[in-house]
Amino acid sequence: MSLRRSSWYCIALLLAAAPALAQLRPGDAAAVGMSSAGLERAVRLLESEVREGRLGAASILVARRGTVVLHKGFGHLSFRAGSPAVEPDSVYLAASLTKPVTATALMILVERGKVSLSEPVSTYLPEFTGGERDKVRVIDLLTHTSGLPDQLPEVAELGRAHAPLSDFVKHTFTTPLLFTPGTAWHYQSMGILLAAEIVERMSGIALREFEQKEIFEPLGMEHSSLGLGGRRIDDTVQVQDHVNNEPLLLGPNDLTAQEVNSEYWRNIGCPWGGMHTTTMDMAILLQAFLDGGSYGGKRILSPTTVKAMTSDQNARLNAPWGLGWWLGGSPGKDIGDLVSPSAFGHMGSTGNMEWADPETQVVCVLLTNHPLVLDKGLFLRLVSNAVAAAVEK
């Protein structure tokens, strides 16, 4: 055999021996080193909250090394009498689980040489100038260091006027910065809005179309869309919107959960919180990141980009954050107390949590209708801890 043929033969053997990238399939917990009893503790937590009336709806998926070891739904789509039961893959409003998806869209353009993270935002959005806005770099939009506020002071007013998303962008161009860009960390949805605007301008298509073409379709995320994607709201899980017969405020500026359940907010496709999805679809995205940017033989990002997105970009500020991803050591460590510092994920104000831990190869997606304002995410963390503790070896 010639040297050249021998080299190709060796490469073929190595490829044949290499482990296949994980694709999510149901299987036995013990076979992947997880405790069934430990996972049952997470199930009992969810069942108890629903039974006691503190939680109306939840779906959970847990997987390890590509094996789905828990996938279950609890409760009903809404609090109305006769509402259908929740399924393991009922559709939820993702809230801020949308942010890493928007960040992924931007990073696809970074890979293609259309955007540079180190450039000022004004390079791509010339209207974003004045004061210290010229100091805001594209990377600051993804690491929450831009100085922009989380929500605009006018967010409720714009929503009640059914303003188009372009009006939110215009207000973000002129809203005062909270601090000198790059000098502090402050969670901000408006930075993600500008990241989305860059995607639209540099790609030439709407963000919802870009994500469908470049992320959802390649990965097989068949039940995900920015906005309602043609669904009826009644066919999705509705966010709890009242407490003791009083409207529930979701966050700053008096935006109510009832408004978030409206056709306007559900379909506007806000890039910081307007995606609809299921536990399986979000688990596919997390698994793709664990596997270096591909799933089912389809690649959306390079391993180099995945590493950058899931690594701490704020070391100088002691506020760990990736590019769009919450990290295990991020402020508040809100994706759980027992995940490793290398874990990445996100939380959502409507009651959602997702994470993947490269150290244990565990993926966890928990979607609920229980807004974080009710307990500051405590219940989500309790379930997350039960899942993380179920790893035995």
CATH number of domain containing 281: 3.40.710.10
CA-to-CA dists, residue 25 to 65, 98, 111, 216, angstroms:
10, 24, 30, 19
Say how many residues make up the chain.
Answer: 393
Is 9 inside a domain boundary?
no
Which residue type occupies 180?
A: T
Task: Please tell me the predicted confidence (pLDDT) of residue 333.
Answer: 57
Task: Please tell me the predicted confidence (pLDDT) of residue 250.
Answer: 75
- The helix (H) or strand (E) run that includes residue 195 is helix 189-203
Q: Are 93 and 62 in contact (CB under 8 A)?
A: no
Is 237 inside a domain boundary?
yes
Chain Cα centroid distance, residue 352: 9
CA-to-CA dists, residue 138 to 99, 190, 201, 202, angstroms:
15, 13, 14, 13
Question: What's the token pair of residue 48?
Answer: 């108890």
Domain enclosing residue 231, as ranges: 38-389
Would you give per-residue pLDDT tens digits along the chain (393 residues)? Answer: 444 444 444 433 333 333 446 799 999 999 999 999 999 999 999 999 999 999 999 999 999 999 999 999 999 999 889 999 999 999 999 999 999 999 999 999 999 999 999 999 999 999 999 999 999 999 999 999 999 999 999 998 999 999 999 999 999 999 999 999 999 999 999 999 999 999 999 999 999 999 999 999 999 999 999 999 999 999 999 999 888 777 787 765 567 888 889 999 999 999 999 999 999 999 999 999 999 999 999 999 999 999 999 999 999 999 999 999 999 877 655 899 999 999 999 999 999 999 999 999 999 999 999 999 999 999 999 999 999 999 998
End-to-end Cα spacing for the chain: 44
Q: Are 112 and 298 in contact (CB under 8 A)?
A: no
Task: Please tell me the predicted confidence (pLDDT) of residue 10.
Answer: 42
Is 123 inside a domain boundary?
yes
Angle, CA of 297, 303 and 309, to the nearest 5°: 120
Domain count, the chain: 1
Q: Where are the alpha helices (DSSP H) in the chain?
A: 3-17, 36-51, 98-111, 138-143, 155-160, 165-174, 189-203, 207-211, 217-219, 257-260, 263-267, 279-290, 303-309, 378-389
Task: Please tell me the predicted confidence (pLDDT) of residue 245.
Answer: 76
What pairing do the DSSP bridges indicate for beta strands 225-226 and 25-26?
Answer: unpaired
Task: Please tell me the predicted confidence (pLDDT) of residue 254.
Answer: 63
Which residue type occupies 373?
A: V
Is 14 inside a domain boundary?
no
Short-list 343, 338, 336, 350, CA closest to 381: 336
Task: Please tell me the predicted confidence (pLDDT) of residue 15.
Answer: 35
CA-to-CA dists, residue 103 to 150, 205, 322, 344, angstroms:
16, 16, 10, 13
d(CA 258, CA 96): 17
Is 4 inside a domain boundary?
no
DSSP 81-108: TTPPBPPTT--EE-GGGHHHHHHHHHHH
Is 169 inside a domain boundary?
yes
Is 26 inside a domain boundary?
no
Q: Are 194 and 174 in contact (CB under 8 A)?
A: no
**Phi, psi of 354, rounded to the nearest 5 degrees:** -145, 145
Is 17 inside a domain boundary?
no
